[in-house]
Amino acid sequence: MAEKMLMLALSPTMEEGTIISWSKKEGDTVAAGDIVCEVETDKATMDYESLQAGTILKILVQEGNSARVEQAIAIVGESGENIDDLLKEITKAASEPAVGETSGGETAVRETAPGADVAREAAPAAAAARETAPGANIAGETTPAAAVREPAGKERLKASPLARNMAAEAGIDLSVLNGSGPDGRIVKQDVETVMEHGVPFRSAPGISSTAGTAAVERGTAFGSGSATGIVEEHIPVSRKRAVIARRLAESKFSAPHYYLGLSVLIDNVLESRDRLNSRRAKGEEPKLSLNAFLIKMTAEAIKRHPIVNAGWEESEIHVFGSVDIGLAVALEDGLITPIVRNCGAKGIIQIDRELRELIRKAKSGKLTPEEYTGATFSISNLGSYGIEEFTAIINPPASAILAVGTAVKQPKELEDGSIKFHNTMKITLSCDHRVIDGAVGAEFLRTLKAVIEDPLNALL
Amino acid sequence: MATIMMREAIRQAMQEEMERDENVLLMGEEVAQYNGAYKVSQGLLDTFGPERVIDTPISEEGFTGMGIGAAMAGLRPIVEWMTFNFSLMAIDQVINNAAKNLYMSGGQMRSPIVFRGPNGPAEYLASQHSQALQSLYAHVPGLKIAAPSTPYDAKGLLKSAIRDDNPVLFLEAEMMYSWKGEVPEQEYLVPLGKADIKRQGTDVSLVSYSKPVRMVLQAAEELAGEGIDAEVVDLRSIRPLDEFTLYNSVRKTNRCVVVDEAWPFASVGSHVGWLVSRNCFDYLDAPVELVSSEDVPMPYNHKLELAAQPSVEKIVRAVKSVLYR
C-alpha cells in the first residue's frame, strides 16, 4: 500500500525545509533509518532518516525546492504499485484553500502560502495565541505570532464589573490594586479602601500607603541586584498624574509666563465676611469662604478687563463671554480645578454654595469632565498652608492665574504717629504674554486690588 | 386585621370571587364533599352548591381539559390539582390548549382559568410527590404564574388570577397552608407581576418566591446578627416577572443570591440569575449565586430529604460567598 513520505520537523521551530539533495532516487528501496535526503532547516542542514520501508515510487519535491512540515515529499510503496489515486489526493490537497487561510489575519503568521496540512496546524496555533493573549486590550495590539512567542506575559486582570466602574469613575488604575476576592479578583471593597486610604503596596497586601499618591512597587519585582539598585521606589505614573504632568508642562513650556505681584489690604473683605456670616441664621449653611469672595471680586475685575478672560489659539485669540473661574483643589493623589461658571453674573452666596459642592465632589472623585475643564481664569490659594507668596502655572485654555498667599498682619503708621495693624495678603498674577501684555496685566491687578480693598468699587 | 391561615386566605379569595361573579366555579378531586384534600375549599359546596363546586374523577387530563373547555365557553373555572405532581397528567391540556388558545385563535378565544394546588416538596413524600415543577410551566409563553409566600399575598393574588383573562397557575404548598398572617377585612387585590420587598437591606439581594421566602427571611435575620444587611425580594409572580423591582434592588446592593427550591438546571432561579447577570452586569460585585435543591430525585430518607433542599445554612453560605467573607 503506497503512502506519503512527509517532511518532518527536524528542529523544534522548523516550519519548512529545503531539500538540498536526495540520496535515493525513484525505484530505490529504503529501510527504516535509511538516510533518504538532506534537508536545510531554519537552523542547520540535517539528514532525513526514513521512518518508512519500501520502494520510492515518486519523488514529489525536487532538490532545491522546499516543503512545509507535514507536506508530502515522496511516495513510498511496493514496486509497480499504482499510485494515481494517491497523486490525485496530494494534488487536490495542495490546490484547496488551506483551512487557516479562510480565517483571515491569523494565518499571516505564516509568511508563504501554506500547504493544506500545514495550514490545518496553523489555525489552532493562532487560536491558541488568541487565548493566551493577556486580555482584550493587549490582545488587540499584539500579533498572534508575538503572543505565541511570549505567552501570557502578564496575568489577566480580574475585577468585578462594579469595581471596574467605580475605579474608572474615581480615576484609579486597577492594575495597581491587590484584589481580595477569589483568585485575586478586585472587588468593591478593594476600590473603596483605596479611595479612603490610598493605594496599598502591591507586594504587601493589606498595608496601606498613607501618602496614597500611587502604587509603589519595590523589592523582588525589580531585583535588588540590578543596576537600578539605587532607586528606592518605582512609582508607576497614574493616569491622573500623567495628565497633570502633560498639561502643566505644555503650559509652562509653551506659554511665556510673567508674574506681577502686589500686596492688598483685606480688612474690608474680612469684615464684610464676618458681617455676612453673623447675619446668617444658626444651623443654616456653613460660613462663607474667603475663596468665594476672591472669586467674585476677581470676576468683577475681569469684567472691567475682558482681555484677561481670553485664550491663545495660535491663529487667533479667543475672548470668552462667560467668566468661568477654576479653583485649584489639592487631592491626595494630585490636584483638580473645579470651575464655578459665569461668576460675573452670580453673587457671593451662590458662588460659595456651588464651590462647596464642587469641592465635595472633587474630594470624592465625582467631578464630571464638564466641571473641571475649560476654566477661563484660575485661582490657586495656598494661604491655608501659611505660604506668603508664590507663583502658579497657567491652566490652559486660560491666560492667567492668580496665586493667593496667606493673610499677614502689617503695622502702619497713622498721621498722629500711632501704629495700626492691617490684614494684608500677597497676590501674584501669572500671565501668558502672548495674550496679556505687562501693562494690561498690571491694570487688571490694580483694579482687583481696588475691589478687594474696597468692595464698593465693584459697584462703580 | 385578622390573622388567618394561608388555606383560609385562599378559601376567602375563592368565596369572594364566586360571590362576585357567578361564572366562577371550582372543580377538582375531593374539593366538594370532602371539603378539599387540604381543607382549602371548606364550606364552599354548602354555600354554592354542586353546580359550582364540582367533585371530579381521578382523571387530571380529563377534568383539566374540561375546565379549559368551560373557560373557552365563557366560564371562569378554578381547577384544583391535589398536587402539581399530578398535573403532569394534564400538562398537555395546559401547554397545548390553555396556553395557546388566545394566540392560535387570533385573539378570538380566551382561557380565563386558574390551575391551583400545592407545589414543591412537603415531607416524607418521596421522589414522585416532592417536586417543584414551576419551571416546566414558566417555560411556556401564554401562561401566567403566581407564587405567593404569605396569606395576604395569596388572597390578593388569587383574586387577581381569577379575574385575569389568561390561564394562571397558582402555586401553593402543603407546608404553607397552616402558615398564618394578617389579612385585612376589606377587599383588596395584589396585582400579578408585582414583586414585594419583604425586607429592606443594603448588602445583598436575596431573591425568592413561594415557600422558600420564609426561610430566606430567617437567613436574613441570622445574617443581620453578623452585621450583614440583606434585602429580601419576594417575586410573588414568576410570569409576568417584575424585573424593575428586581434590578433596582440588585443595583442598590451590588450582590444577588437567588433561592429556588426547584432543581438548578433550567429553573426559574437559574433564569432569574441570568437576567440579573445580564441586566445588572455593571453593578455586580460578585457572580450571582443560586441556592436550589440538589440535582437529584428527592430522597425518602428524611435527613437526605432535608439535605437535598435549600436551607438557612446554604443561603447564609451563599451570601457570604458573594460578600467575599
* Separation in Å, CA of A191 to nearest CA in chain B: 11
Q: Where a domain ends, among A207, A236, A265? A: A236
CB-CB under 8 Å, A161 with B281: yes
CB of A14 closer than 8 Å to CB of A69: yes
What chain B holds in terms of domains, given with CATH numbers, is 2-183 (3.40.50.970), 196-322 (3.40.50.920)
A334 grid coordinates: 494630585
Angle, CA A404 vertex, CA A439 and CA A270 arms, to 5°: 110
Residue numbers in A near B276 (CB within 8 A): none
CB-CB under 8 Å, B281 with A160: no
Place of cell 429580601: B232
Mean of pLDDT values over A337-366: 92
Is residue A124 located within the same domain as residue A56? Answer: no
For testing the chain B interface, which of A162, A165, A189 should be mutated: the one with the most B CBs within 10 Å?
Answer: A162
Q: Is residue A442 part of a domain?
A: yes
- Give the separation between CA A455 and CA A269, rounded to whole angstroms: 7
CB of A361 closer than 8 Å to CB of A338: yes
Chain B: residue whose CA lies nearest to A179: B324
**Paired residues of A235 in beta bridges:** none
pLDDT, residue A295, reads 96
Mean of pLDDT values over B119-129: 96
CB-CB under 8 Å, A163 with B284: no
Contact B247/A at CB under 8 A? no
Is residue A20 located within the same domain as residue A137? Answer: no
Q: Is A186 helix (H, G, I), strand (E, B) or coil?
A: strand
For testing the chain A interface, which of B285, B289, B322, B325 should be mutated: the one with the most A CBs within 10 Å?
Answer: B285
Chain B: residue whose CA lies nearest to A182: B324
Q: Is residue A155 part of a domain?
A: no
CB-CB under 8 Å, A187 with B324: yes
Query: In one letter, which amino acid is A220?
Result: T
pLDDT, residue A224, reads 40
Q: Is A257 an active-site residue? A: no
Chain A: residue whose CA lies nearest to B288: A160
For testing the chain B interface, which of A158, A164, A187 should be mutated: the one with the most B CBs within 10 Å?
Answer: A187
Q: How many residues are given for chain B?
A: 325
pLDDT, residue A155, reads 61
Chain B: residue whose CA lies nearest to A187: B285
CB-CB under 8 Å, A162 with B324: no
Where is average pLDDT lowest: A234-238, B204-208, B210-214?
A234-238
Q: Where a domain ends, among A95, A120, A141? A: A95
Which one is predicted more confidently, B255 or A365?
A: B255
> What is the CATH number for A33?
2.40.50.100
Mean of pLDDT values over B121-147: 97
- Give the separation between CA A312 and CA A310, rounded to whole angstroms: 7
Left, alpha or beta for B210 (phi > 0: left; psi -120 to 50: alpha)?
left
Nearest to A333 by CA among A371, A291, A362, A370: A362
pLDDT, residue A408, reads 93
Q: Enumerate residues 6+ apart whose C-beta is below 8 A from B229.
A: B201, B202, B203, B223
ipTM: 0.73
For testing the chain A interface, which of B205, B280, B324 should be mutated: the one with the most A CBs within 10 Å?
Answer: B324
% of chain B surpassing 70 pLDDT: 100
Nearest to B269 by CA among B224, B221, B235: B235
- Give the separation between CA B188 and CA B163, rounded to whole angstroms: 13
- Give the separation between CA B60 and CA A434, rounded to whole angstroms: 92
Is residue A318 located within the same domain as residue A450? Answer: yes
Contact B286/A at CB under 8 A? yes
* Separation in Å, CA of A164 to nearest CA in chain B: 8
Q: Is residue A154 part of a domain?
A: no
- Give the separation between CA B21 and CA B89, rounded to whole angstroms: 29
* B39-80 pLDDT tens trace: 999 999 999 999 999 999 999 999 999 999 999 999 999 999
pLDDT, residue A104, reads 39
Catalytic residue among A34, A197, A433, A454: A433
* A371-400 pLDDT tens trace: 988 899 999 999 999 999 999 999 988 999
* B277-309 pLDDT tens trace: 999 999 999 999 999 999 999 999 999 999 999
The domain in which residue A29 lies consists of 3-95
- Give the separation between CA A68 and CA A61, rounded to whole angstroms: 11
* Separation in Å, CA of B285 to nearest CA in chain A: 5
Nearest to A26 by CA among A34, A36, A16, A13: A36
CA atoms within a 13 Å half-sphere pointing along the CA-CB vector of A210: 0
Is residue A41 located within the same domain as residue A82? Answer: yes
| Sign of the alpha-carbon torsion through A194, A197, A198, A203 | negative
Catalytic residue among B17, B29, B60, B231: B60
Is residue A329 located within the same domain as residue A395? Answer: yes
Is residue A311 located within the same domain as residue A409? Answer: yes
Q: Is B64 helix (H, G, I), strand (E, B) or coil?
A: helix
Catalytic residue among A28, A47, A274, A437: A437
CB-CB under 8 Å, A162 with B283: yes
Q: Is residue A296 part of a domain?
A: yes
Q: DSSP letter string over A230-266?
A: T---B-PPPHHHHHHHHHHHHHHHHS-EEEEEEEEE-
Contact B227/A at CB under 8 A? no
**Residue B237 pLDDT more than 90?**
yes
Q: Predicted confidence band at A335 (pLDDT cuts at 50, 70, 90)?
A: confident
Is residue A89 located within the same domain as residue A22? Answer: yes
Is residue A86 located within the same domain as residue A122? Answer: no
Q: Predicted confidence band at A198 (pLDDT cuts at 50, 70, 90)?
A: low
How many A-B residue pairs are in contact by the CB < 8 A criterion? 27
**Paired residues of B220 in beta bridges:** none
**How many separate domains does chain A show?**
4
> What is the CATH number for A180?
4.10.320.10
Q: Predicted confidence band at A112 (pLDDT cuts at 50, 70, 90)?
A: very low
CB-CB under 8 Å, A188 with B283: no
Q: Is residue A359 part of a domain?
A: yes
Catalytic residue among B30, B61, B129, B271: B129
Is residue A169 located within the same domain as residue A298? Answer: no
The verdict on whether omega for the bond into residue B310 sits within 30 degrees of 0, i.e. cis, is: no
- Give the separation between CA B76 and CA B79, rounded to whole angstroms: 10
Give the C-alpha distances (Å, rounded to integers) separating A241 from A248, A396, B256.
11, 17, 36
Residue numbers in A near B324 (CB within 8 A): 180-182, 187, 189
* B20-36 pLDDT tens trace: 999 999 999 999 999 99
Chain B: residue whose CA lies nearest to A185: B286
Residue numbers in B near A182 (CB within 8 A): 324
CB of B154 closer than 8 Å to CB of B13: yes
Is residue A173 located within the same domain as residue A67? Answer: no
* Separation in Å, CA of A203 to nearest CA in chain B: 21
Is residue A91 located within the same domain as residue A108? Answer: no
**Residue B215 pLDDT more than 60?**
yes
pTM summary value: 0.52
**Paired residues of B182 in beta bridges:** B3
pLDDT, residue A229, reads 56
CB-CB under 8 Å, A165 with B324: no
Place of cell 468665594: A292
| Sign of the alpha-carbon torsion through A205, A208, A209, A212 | positive
Q: Is B60 an active-site residue? A: yes
Is residue A44 located within the same domain as residue A125? Answer: no
Residue numbers in B near A187 (CB within 8 A): 285-286, 324
Nearest CB neighbour to A188, from listed B254, B281, B282:
B254
Q: In what order do the strands lie in the sheet with A400-413?
A: A257-265, A419-432, A400-413, A377-381, A325-327, A339-340
What is chain B's mean pLDDT, rounded? 97
Q: Is residue A12 part of a domain?
A: yes
Q: Is residue A355 part of a domain?
A: yes
* A27-67 pLDDT tens trace: 999 998 899 998 887 767 788 888 888 999 999 999 888 88
For testing the chain B interface, which of A165, A174, A188, A193 should be mutated: the one with the most B CBs within 10 Å?
Answer: A188
CA atoms within a 13 Å half-sphere pointing along the CA-CB vector of B314: 18
CB-CB under 8 Å, A161 with B284: yes
Q: Is residue A227 part of a domain?
A: no
Mean of pLDDT values over B109-123: 97
pLDDT, residue B280, reads 95
* Separation in Å, CA of B255 to nearest CA in chain A: 10
